[in-house]
Structure 1
Amino acid sequence: MSDSAGGRPRGLRGIVRTWGEVLVRPRRAFANGVTPGDQAPALTFAVAVAAAFTLGWIGSDPAAMPVVVPSSRLLSEAVVFLVVVALAAPVGLHLTAAVATVSVVLASVEFDGGLGLRDRGGVSETVQVVAYASSPMALGGPAIPELRVLCGAYAAVLLFVGFREIHGLGPVRTVAAALPPAALGYGVGYRVVAAARTLLGA
């Protein structure tokens, strides 16, 4: 990820390499791999993570999948997978990134002789951080609440690390910026909140 043209390597090998580097060396991955205006690989990455999550979920808990084609469970699962990859993942990424962008702007407000905004990264960098921070969720698909909560928690930590690295905000401001998109994208989108409620018996 760190020595590729345009910010990160492309293709399947690039996705796997980026995934591993974000999990193991997140600060380096965000610092060297996030570049202005380079959102396409991030979208591909987010779709790949969502695909892995969905396959894990289908494989471990097929009964939880909606029955789209009553005559064939396998076909129903295929339709669900395609909808996630083609529609839910891209829409979810951009919705979460929109919330993240607003959160970053609000967290950047300062009062220093007047109302102003601190210097920060751009919208495209925010989109990329949201996408790459979702890396742990590729492992969170199986219907194991403990695993899903752990993956969601680490994704939130990665989002904090990414925002801190890219936007240069202080710890408190970074937490304020990261919490809303983490809650929406990972908590709701990847059903981490539902898994936590299961663990708590709610």
Structure 2
Amino acid sequence: MALAGNAPRVFTRCTKSGVPYYATAASASLSLLAYLNVASTGATVFNWFVNLINTGAYQSWICCCVVYLRYRKAADAQGVADAPFRSRFQPYSSIVSICGFGLLLVVNGFKVFLDGQWDTSSFLTSYIGVVIFFALYFGHKFTVGSGDAWVRDPMDVDLVSGLDEVLAQETPAPPRTKWYQKWRVLFE
């Protein structure tokens, strides 16, 4: 990521053998969060991190499902039908997933709304991620991305750039057994 300019430049520094030591140290330092559970107050902080991570994960899955639905709409509009990863349950499973993850996002910190359970810090760690997501989304939209159409017409979505390179790198799948083919029929 740092080489592509998407992370701080310090993470590009490597040893002579090519080990990115700052990036490795930053990644490894996250494991120290497990020690928060040693004390009872640490367990509270650990639960805050769990709430924050859950909120981010639910939002990520919702975004993935929305992106898939937009891709599917563009593929259908452009007549791209040879995708090997189509499922018979789509687009309905994406819609159900959006609803499910949306529900989980709402009830992530619902305990604070029960009688006598109010805790400001738990409320903030459960729901601040939603506010941050929309602040970043609209902040980018109104500053840098004001001229960029974020929702394109399905016919204008580019589905073929770089496709030849990807197909050239793919290796053919090994032949499947009869049982695998019978099992796969259920999910296609």
Calculate the TM-score normalised by the size of structure 1: 0.25
The structure whose Rg is larger is: 2
Q: Which has the larger helix fraction?
A: 1
Calculate the TM-score normalised by the size of structure 2: 0.26
Give the number of the structure with larger relative contact order, counting CA–CA contacts within 8 Å between residues 6 or more apart. Answer: 1
